[in-house]
């Protein structure tokens, strides 16, 4: 099951210093204006983070759409014992999320 992460923080770093940051809205979308430069991007959600190392961003008079697909992934640990009731509930939730 995948869900967008509303309220995620997206930070743009130049070297080790934070230059720009923003938060995703309740639908998981964000918009930010930055100056042209080489940045590392860190996106932090409720249970994890994503690091995109050095990338050249920003051009005079243009905009870029960067979709990082900040999605929540549910991971099941193989050592965890699932009951039949748990498995039925997971399948039920999966069907609901597809509609």
Residue 34: the pLDDT is: 83
Distance CA 40, CA 18 (A): 9
Residue 19: the pLDDT is: 92
Residue 1: the pLDDT is: 39
CATH number of 2-74: 2.60.40
List of the chain residues with pLDDT < 70: 1-5, 47, 58-82, 97-99
pLDDT tens track for 53-67: 888 876 655 555 666
DSSP 82: P
The first and second tokens of residue 51, run together, are 């690091």
Domain ranges of the chain: 2-74
Contacts of 7 (CB under 8 A, 6+ apart): 23, 24, 26, 45, 46
* pTM attached to this predicted model: 0.55
């Amino acid at each position: 099951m995948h869900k967008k992460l509303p309220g995620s923080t997206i930070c743009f770093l130049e070297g080790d210093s934070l230059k720009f940051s923003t938060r995703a809205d309740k639908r998981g979308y964000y918009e930010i204006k930055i100056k042209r430069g080489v940045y590392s991007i860190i996106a932090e959600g409720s249970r994890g983070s994503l690091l995109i190392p050095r990338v050249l961003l920003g051009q005079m008079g243009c905009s870029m759409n960067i979709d990082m697909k900040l999605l929540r992934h549910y991971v099941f640990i193989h050592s965890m014992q699932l009951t039949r009731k748990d498995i039925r509930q997971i399948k039920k939730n999966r069907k609901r999320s597809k509609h």
